[in-house]
Structure 1
Amino acid sequence: MKPKGRWKTWLFGILITAAIGVALLLALQGRAKADDEGPIVTVARDTLHIRVEEIGIVEPLRKVEITSKVAGQVQEVLVDVGARVKAGDVLVRLDPRDTTQALRRSQAEHRVNRVMLDQARKLFGFKQEAHRLGVLSDLELAASQGEVHRLDAQNAVHAAASSQLQDQVECTRLRAPIDGLVLARHVEPGEMVTPGVAAMVDGKPLLIVAQVDRLLVRTELNQLDVALLSVGQKVEVRVDALPGAVFPGEVFRIAAMAQKSERRPDSRLQVFPVDVVVDGKAAVGLRPGMIADLRIDVASHENVLAVPLEAIVYEAGSPHVRKLEGEKESLTPVVLGKQNTRLAQVVSGVEEGDRLRVRPADTQARNKD
């Protein structure tokens, strides 16, 4: 081949390569532009599930703080955390010696007083007969009767004191008030306890016993979600600690008025506390303190026109969609119906099969700003 022909071949190859490169570059630029404009979705009919989803904390339906009604030294603690107890079981024993000795003294004084009262009554009977015969003055008879009244009143005082001390002896045996599970223990043998709520030096109860045959999941809902609920609605409860397990529950209690959030004490957020009850027999593995995911199916709307929430844009506070007709895009107002966290029902404004442009989230945020 002549040098001139070879040079033409090389030039032709370079031009072909450049043309292919330019075409590829234009195609990539077009795709990037389309990506910037956002994907296209088609209006279709779907089933719209309305759900309320929130997290909550598992708690016992009822828990009781065990405190002491009498002061004393702890002699024995018969249970530990995790123990199951029956109502009436002795959980803690206090040293009863001082109280028992006081009870014995009181009972002895009571017995002596009863003997004295019996003697005073018999003597008063004799004196009544002597007074009738005229050998005893009115003053002496009144004095004898007064002694009977005094000893009778003293007998009542001794009886009350003995009964109170008997109760105090019984109170040295702290018993379980309910069937349940010991959740906490804040006492050891040898420690001194005081009566009432301040049963320990640090103010904690001696023990906490909870009913676990039924558990609560306590959550907080905003005013929009709480308006969808009613007592008795079925609830699905899940916990991360037990993957795949679904525990059946139902709405047990809904607060009558909003209150400050307990979860976010630093916030001014007003919420409605809601309790979901779970049958303990069906909730094997659930424990107080676990964080649970709640799902409440409120309603299902079948065969409705629905679009992704990302396809909705707001102009002047009204919902619109970016509808495509051919390559032309127009901002079209729509009327929305029900919606969940993924889809929104479109009542009017678009028809099934219409194509909509979904703007990227950052673009929507800029337009909204």
Structure 2
Amino acid sequence: MTTKKQAVLLIVVAGLVAAAGYAVWKSRGQGDEFVVSGVIEADDIHVGSKVGGRVMKVVAREGQSVKAGDVLVLLEPDEPKASLSESQASLRQAEARLTELQAGYRREEIDQAKADWLAAKAQHGNAEKLRQRMKDLVERQLIAPQEYDDARTKAEETEQRTMSARERYDLLLAGTRQEEIAQARAGVEAARARVRLLKTQLDETVVRSPVNAVVEVLDLEPGDMVGAGKPVATLLRTTSLWVRAYLPEKRLGHVQPGLTVRIRVDSFPRKDFSGTVRRIHRQAEFTPRNVQTTEERVLQVFQTEVIIDDPEKILRPGMNADVFIKKSEQ
């Protein structure tokens, strides 16, 4: 073998050794670390409307980045608007009635009620006198019985009007009762609560994003019906990415929530990301088939969630990630 061929062979062997060393380092970490693998995920949020209705306009689209408060879907607002207008009118009436009762009755109203009562009393007196005359005449058979019946009916009617007028006069003279004011006040509060409810329902015809996110699913067209409380869109909360990894049972003692770790992804192999363990599931399971080697798939593991610090916003859900964890003294 020539010297040149030997040199090339040495370079190839050195490259293979370096690659193998990197693979071992990547898969097992440095001497004081071990590694668990997983996939980057984002929390999904199902957004909907409390009232539902018919879709008027679809504003956002799948794959679009949205900010908190951005409009996703508009529902037809006609029915909630009409109900709100009706309730606002009822509220104004209730408030006017309460104001009137709290102010009490005016002197003019009391005087008018007294005049109405005295007039009704006079009419009843005249009607009663006529009834008496008609009674005498019918007993002497000078008039038909029907004429007496008419006079008696009129006397009874004027008596009822006199009693009603006197009751109203006495009521105004006594003033407003506290029970009436309390009842009117309760009516106002009920009307206000109804208006608040309908305003909320009208607001629900505008479906907004509650957080900064990416629209993952939004399959609607104008005219579609949306059920009350049913999701109209699924959002991915990309501002708080995390890794779903699987911690071997023998490594459980090295990890606890709040632990700081470092993370690497295949897309940026030379860049370290900081992470914090958020949760370790209490229930053990077998390693999922899409994680690690065939031998490791039969191990008992604990699902672990690690929040990633990604200030540059360069990571994406679905990326493979390796979580490097320092070994603690046992």
Q: Same fold (TM over 0.5)?
A: yes
State the distance in 1 between where 2:209 and 2:64 align: 12
Are 2:263 and 2:273, in contact at CA under 8 Å, matched by a contact in 1? yes
Aligned: 1:298 with 2:323: no
Q: Which amino acid aligns with 2:91?
A: H
| Structure with the bigger percentage of strand | 1
Are 2:35 and 2:323, in contact at CA under 8 Å, matched by a contact in 1? yes
Cα–Cα, structure 1 residues 140 and 224, in superposed 2: closer, same or farther, change >3 Å? farther
Aligned: 1:237 with 2:264: yes
State the distance in 1 between where 2:178 and 2:260 align: 73
Are 2:66 and 2:213, in contact at CA under 8 Å, matched by a contact in 1? yes
Q: Which amino acid aligns with 1:229?
A: V
Among 298, 302, 325, the alignment partner of 1:272 is 302
Among 94, 105, 113, the alignment partner of 2:86 is 105
Deviation of 1:89 after TM superposition, in Å, equals: 1.8
Q: Which amino acid aligns with 2:199?
A: Q
Cα–Cα, structure 1 residues 128 and 219, in superposed 2: closer, same or farther, change >3 Å? farther
Among 241, 251, 274, the alignment partner of 1:249 is 274
Deviations 1:304-357 (A, max 9, x none): xxxxxxxxxxxxxxxxxxxxxxxxxxxxxxxxxx9xxxxxxxxxxxxxxxxxxx
Gaps of 5+ in 1: 1-46, 200-204, 301-337, 339-369
Aligned: 1:79 with 2:60: yes
Are 2:242 and 2:305, in contact at CA under 8 Å, matched by a contact in 1? yes
Deviations 1:129-163 (A, max 9, x none): 99xxxx96479748765444433322221111111
Deviation of 1:189 after TM superposition, in Å, equals: 2.5
Q: TM-score, normalised by structure 1?
A: 0.54
Aligned: 1:218 with 2:244: yes
Quote the residue 1:175 is aligned against: 208
Deviation of 1:229 after TM superposition, in Å, equals: 2.9
**Structure with bigger RCO (C-alpha 8 Å, 6+ apart):** 2
State the distance in 1 between where 2:208 and 2:30 align: 54
Aligned: 1:191 with 2:227: no
**Runs of 4+ in structure 1 displaced over 6 angstroms?**
127-130
Cα–Cα, structure 1 residues 155 and 229, in superposed 2: closer, same or farther, change >3 Å? closer
Quote the residue 1:30 is aligned against: none
State the Cα RMSD in Å.
Answer: 3.7
Are 2:263 and 2:321, in contact at CA under 8 Å, matched by a contact in 1? no
Quote the residue 1:287 is aligned against: 316
| Structure with the bigger percentage of helix | 2
Among 74, 84, 89, the alignment partner of 2:70 is 89
Mapping for residues 38-77 of structure 1, pairs under 5 Å: 49-60=31-42, 62-77=43-58
State the identity %: 26
Deviations 1:252-279 (A, max 9, x none): 2242633445847xx9975322222222
Deviations 1:18-40 (A, max 9, x none): xxxxxxxxxxxxxxxxxxxxxxx
Are 1:93 and 1:174, in contact at CA under 8 Å, matched by a contact in 2? yes
Q: Secondary structure at the match of 2:220?
A: coil
State the distance in 1 between where 2:203 and 2:90 align: 21
Cα–Cα, structure 1 residues 48 and 174, in superposed 2: closer, same or farther, change >3 Å? closer
State the distance in 1 between where 2:218 and 2:285 align: 31
Cα–Cα, structure 1 residues 236 and 122, in superposed 2: closer, same or farther, change >3 Å? closer
Q: TM-score, normalised by structure 2?
A: 0.60
State the distance in 2 between where 1:85 and 1:183 align: 11
> How many pairs does the alignment contain?
238
Q: Secondary structure at the match of 1:218?
A: strand
Q: Secondary structure at the match of 1:280?
A: coil
